[in-house]
């Protein structure tokens, strides 16, 4: 009888352990598992999010992502950065491929319907980048001149609509190609978010070559993307952002990554404050 009772207890205990293990496995997604976390960033935006030729990761967004992950309890060695290109971001969060995304991810109603956003943690604006010796000093000076943006972007059309209807548009596949065209004189200006433009201008090889005009053609509220319904992670990230700002680490990261371009950044926005 004693043996029978022992067998029943052992079987019951094993069943409980199995169920516990199953529940634990189900509660984790691929974005965070077994003390590791995968974070989405951009790989091709100098000053914001870039994978360097040496395989390191650098930029303001990388610094923000690292700070948040550490506040969530992960060490630097536990963080894996995954490239999340603009068209792939929502699916990466839905599928659990990443736990959160920090990658010049502007909060819009369309995106907010698919994922949740912590923040915003940064306010950028659409602007123009020109050569330092350029006679283009305001948007209207672009009439009759060549404006570069990437294929599929609405930034150049926005410039035409608002300030320079006679600007000649030229589209390249990447911002790096626009920068090369601007440097060589093939184009007279390029346009996108000022944070991205400042990142290129701040690169060592571009120091002193370019200037931002500071036109503030739009408000781009950068948020940290999380899976829809993941309120717990969103709340923790908001607290991490607030701590990064109050500790001075936020301002330090901005100056370190974008300061060389003489970028006049906006103060850190308040959590939940979206500027239209």
Provide the number of structural domains found in the chain: 2
Which run of H or E residues covers position 159? helix 155-162
Q: Both 201 and 161 in a single domain?
A: yes
What does the pLDDT look like over 185-239, one tens digit per residue?
A: 999 999 999 999 999 999 999 999 999 999 999 999 999 999 999 999 999 999 9
Instruction: Provide the pLDDT for residue 154.
Output: 83
Which domain covers residue 241, as residue numbers? 34-124+219-261
Q: Are 158 and 193 within one domain? A: yes
Is the link from the previous residue into 112 a cis peptide, with omega within 30 of 0? no
Tens-digit pLDDT profile for residues 55-88? 999 999 999 999 999 999 999 999 999 999 999 9
The mean of the pLDDT values for the chain is 89
157 within a domain of the structure (yes/no): yes
Is the domain of 89 the same as that of 159? no
Q: Where is average pLDDT lowest: 3-12, 130-139, 250-259?
A: 3-12
Predicted confidence (pLDDT) per residue in 133-185, tens digit: 999 999 899 999 999 998 878 898 899 999 999 999 999 989 999 999 999 99
* 49-51 β-sheet, strand order: 44-45, 49-51, 57-58
Q: What are the distances in angstroms from CA 158 to CA 86, 137, 162, 163?
A: 19, 18, 6, 8
Is the same domain home to 67 and 79? yes
d(CA 204, CA 227): 36
Same domain? For 152 and 187 the reply is yes
DSSP 247: T
Whether residue 231 sits in one domain with residue 117: yes
């Amino acid at each position: 009888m004693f043996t029978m009772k022992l067998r029943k207890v052992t079987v019951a205990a094993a069943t409980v352990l199995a169920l516990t293990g199953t529940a634990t496995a189900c509660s984790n997604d691929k974005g965070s598992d077994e003390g590791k976390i995968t974070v989405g960033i951009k790989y091709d935006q100098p000053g914001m999010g870039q994978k360097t030729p040496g395989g390191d990761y650098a930029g303001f967004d990388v610094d923000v992502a690292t700070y948040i992950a550490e506040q969530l309890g992960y060490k630097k060695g536990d963080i894996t950065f995954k490239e999340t290109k603009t068209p792939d971001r929502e699916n990466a969060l839905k599928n659990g491929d990443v736990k959160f995304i920090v990658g010049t991810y502007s909060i819009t109603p369309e995106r907010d319907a698919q994922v949740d956003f912590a923040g915003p943690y940064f306010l950028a604006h659409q602007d123009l980048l020109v050569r330092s010796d350029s006679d283009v000093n305001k948007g209207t000076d672009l009439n009759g001149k060549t404006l570069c943006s990437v294929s599929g972007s609405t930034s150049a059309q926005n410039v035409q609509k608002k300030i320079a209807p006679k600007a000649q548009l030229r589209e390249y596949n990447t911002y790096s190609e626009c920068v090369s065209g601007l440097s060589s004189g093939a184009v007279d200006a390029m346009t996108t978010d000022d944070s991205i433009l400042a990142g290129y201008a701040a690169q060592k090889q571009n120091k002193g070559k370019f200037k931002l005009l500071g036109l503030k053609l739009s408000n781009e509220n950068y948020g940290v993307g999380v899976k829809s319904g993941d309120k717990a992670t969103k709340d923790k990230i908001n607290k991490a952002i607030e701590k990064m700002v109050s500790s001075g680490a936020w301002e330090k990261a901005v100056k370190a990554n974008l300061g060389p371009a003489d970028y006049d950044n906006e103060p850190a926005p308040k959590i939940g404050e979206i500027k239209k």
